[in-house]
Amino acid sequence: MRIKFLTAMVLIGLLGACESKVNTDGSKTTVSETKSNNQNISSADESVQKDIQAALKKAYPNEDVKVESVSKTPIANLYEVVVFPKQVIYVDAKGEYMLLGNLMDMKNQVNLTEERLSDLNRVDYQTLPFESAIKEVRGNGQYHVAVFSDLDCPFCKRLEQEIEKMTDVTIHTFLMPIDSLHPQARAASKQLWCQPDRTAAWTNWMRKGTPIPAVAECPNPVDDLVALSEKLGFNGTPTIVYPNGKVQSGFLPKEAFEQALRDNQK
């Protein structure tokens, strides 16, 4: 279950996306060393980590708070805490005060929180199961991208409208129905996968609203893709994964999407 005290921050990060809840797994508490803005941010010492974890557990006894890492920030006595699944908060050494939001390096005009989240969410693009994707090649297809999408998500449909205007791109779409928001999407996704031409069925539904014809159910990857998206920590659609591993959530207009494609290939 998503930690309730992070809801506001998460929603800010997912504007333009359909958000879901992600179930926790058995992740263990760890202490890691991270980098931000080309400067080492060292791990907090063990006593600070224990104090912060104990304070979070005491303050939120009904939440299964899993601390993944505690690291120093450039600000004295302020620590970056990564809690499952890949959420960043800031806490003092005793765990008495907490900040939600973005930490900015004003001198260098760098959003340290955004950089950290980008690192945390990075995906090994080559390991994605492309045989389970709906593939569309537009123009020469030179720019590649993967999109985790829900066929009932309005922001996914808006993104598809922008893709229709683009050229020279190869889109690998992974079906990611969000049961909590769209109860019929999983069954519809399985129907879509079983179409004789699933790429045409996908684009016709998402861009034109053409109904998906009823067909007999066939072997399909939908359940496995939902499990994969949860494992990767994706909690909203569309979620875009670029070949260099960068992950981006939410709708993008054509010009911004094209620039992101150019900037985030290998």
Any bridge partners for residue 18, and if so which? 237
* pLDDT above 50: residue 64: yes
Residue range 88-96: average pLDDT? Answer: 93
Distance CA 215, CA 88 (A): 44
**Does the bond joining 183 to the residue before it have cis omega, within 30 degrees of 0?**
no
* pLDDT above 50: residue 174: yes
Q: Which amino acid is it at 127?
A: T
Averaged pLDDT score across all residues of the chain: 86
| Predicted confidence band of residue 42 (pLDDT cuts 50, 70, 90) | low
Superfamily of domain 4-120: Disulphide bond isomerase, DsbC/G, N-terminal (3.10.450.70)
Q: What predicted TM-score, i.e. pTM, was given to this entire model?
A: 0.71
**Does the bond joining 211 to the residue before it have cis omega, within 30 degrees of 0?**
no
Please state which architecture CATH assigns to domain 125-263: 3-Layer(aba) Sandwich (3.40)
Cβ-based neighbours of 118, under 8 Å, separated by 6 or more: 246, 247
* pLDDT above 70: residue 133: yes
As a whole number of angstroms, the longest Cα–Cα distance in the chain is 62
Residue range 108-121: average pLDDT? Answer: 85
Six-digit token string for 35: 């980098």
* pLDDT above 50: residue 32: no
| Predicted confidence band of residue 266 (pLDDT cuts 50, 70, 90) | confident
Give 233: exposed, middle or buried? Use CB within 10 Å, 0-12, 13-18, 19+: middle
Domain ranges of the chain: 4-120, 125-263
**% of residues, the chain, pLDDT over 70:** 86
Residue range 34-63: average pLDDT? Answer: 75
